[in-house]
Amino acid sequence: MDPTELERFERTLLPHMSAAYNLARWLTRSDQDAEDVVQEAYVRAVRFFGGFRGGNSKAWFLTIVRNTGYSWLERSRGEELTTAFDANLHDVEDAGPGPELELLRRATRQELFAALESLPVEFREALVLRELEGLSYKEIADVSGLPIGTVMSRLARARQRLRQILTDRGSKED
Amino acid sequence: MACPKTKDLIEAYGDGELDLGSSLEIERHLAGCEACAAVLERHRALRSALAGASLHYDVPPRLAARVRSAVRKEAKGRATGWLPSWRWAAVAASVAPLAILTWALVALSKTPSPGDLLNQEIVSAHLRSLMGNHLMDFPSSDQHTVKPAFAGRIDFSPDVRGLSGVGFTLIGGRLDYLDGRPVAALVYGRRKHVINLFIWPSAGGEGARGVETSLRGYNLLRWSRAGMLYSAVSDLNAPELRELRKAFEE
């Protein structure tokens, strides 16, 4: 990579370090792993950068971070990915608006944090990309290599489960 | 239970991911369906809880330096025709103007922020309202006539005030469409000037100071209060527009 290209690389991709670290940290759930994933993603990005034709650099780079994060998980703890997909998530009836809404509004940061952290990795990823990084459905589809319809249903299920965790916890306390 | 037909679309609507046609359809449905309105409200409650909880992990301070050095090492390993170091100064000198030019082009072609787009939309709505007879759906100088006129036509109840005491004459109300949703427009007059005051519910806020700007010769104020966004636009001067805002904040 020549100096102008390196300069272009740094100018284009270094600003996404915060998003990259956040995604990696939520995927791996470990400070040290997240740092390693981010570093590895940047190194991979140097190799692929020639193929980047401009456009949405954040989504482009998060795709690499995401894939790096997944191979990291596979390598270091194979169990994580196999338990993730839940055929068993029961379709809860939509509860009435009253108490559930109240519980959602009252949820503390720690509760939200723990609830998000306990979700299977695919759900965590979808919610982090959408609610923390503000990606559109299309961008999430690009990053995770899924059709938009799957992104929509994954987000819906992730939110459903999150609400379930928060309101279960809340109603136990009452 | 939410309606089977709209259930899947409500979250997408709440995420701002539907096209205009489908959004309008959902809005019409929401106006008459409590169950779906409750689903949307729950969706918004969860989103705002997540957004407000600062769940973002911050980059550890040492990481940036670590990444930078790994990147440079990798880039160097992949260098084709890498220059000897004594030529660095020459390269840097030749690259700098190019970098500045590129930066300037990028800065100039930067896409407008959502706030800029909203301001343009607000001024356009104001201009449209002044054309022909589009100013009022329900002309009335009586706040007690204007306020009920909105009921059932939008999903919130705007704060309608008669402000003749402070020199703004209420001349009517209108429904309009801004920021991807139906909004209430109150029309006030001062001397020969027409003021459109748009009101709609907001998830976020404008911050304490609000936004004050001018666009195409029109002055524009945006502020938020009690979960609602207000935007006043007029060819009236800015200090007098601020009086209108002040009257609404009392």
What integer pLDDT is reported at residue B88 of this predicted model? 52
- Give B201's contacts (C-beta < 8 A, 6+ positions apart): B155, B156, B227, B228, B229
Closest partner residue to B53 (CB to CB) among A47, A112, A130 is: A112
CB burial readout B154-178, b (16+ within 10 A) else e: beeebbbbebeeeebebbbbbebbb
Interface A-B, measured as beta-carbon pairs within 8 A, has a size of: 130
What are the tens digits of pLDDT across the range A50-107? 888 888 999 999 999 999 999 888 877 654 554 444 444 444 455 555 677 888 888 8
Closest partner residue to B75 (CB to CB) among A46, A116, A163 is: A46
DSSP category for residue B90: H
CB-based contact B223:B210 (threshold 8 Å): yes
Q: Is the pLDDT of residue A136 over 80?
A: yes
Between residues A173 and B60, which one has the greater pLDDT?
B60
Inter-chain contact B11–A96, Cβ cutoff 8 Å?
A: no
What integer pLDDT is reported at residue B50 of this predicted model? 92
User: Chain A residues with CB inside 8 Å of B78's CB?
Assistant: 1, 46-47
Inter-chain contact B58–A96, Cβ cutoff 8 Å?
A: no
Instruction: Tell me the C-alpha distance between B81 and A8, whole Å.
Output: 18
What integer pLDDT is reported at residue A60 of this predicted model? 94
What are the tens digits of pLDDT across the range B173-220? 888 888 878 889 999 999 888 999 999 988 666 676 788 888 888 899
Give the lowest-confidence range in B3-17, B44-58, B59-73: B3-17
Inter-chain contact B64–A17, Cβ cutoff 8 Å?
A: yes
CB-based contact B231:B198 (threshold 8 Å): yes
Alpha-carbon gap: A51 to the closest alpha carbon of chain B (Å): 14
What pTM, to 2 d.p., does this model score? 0.57
What are the tens digits of pLDDT across the range B62-102? 999 999 999 999 998 776 544 444 455 555 566 666 666 66
- Give A86's contacts (C-beta < 8 A, 6+ positions apart): A120
User: Chain A residues with CB inside 8 Å of B41's CB?
Assistant: 97, 101
Closest CA to A139 of B181, B179, B40, B17: B17
Inter-chain contact B55–A112, Cβ cutoff 8 Å?
A: yes
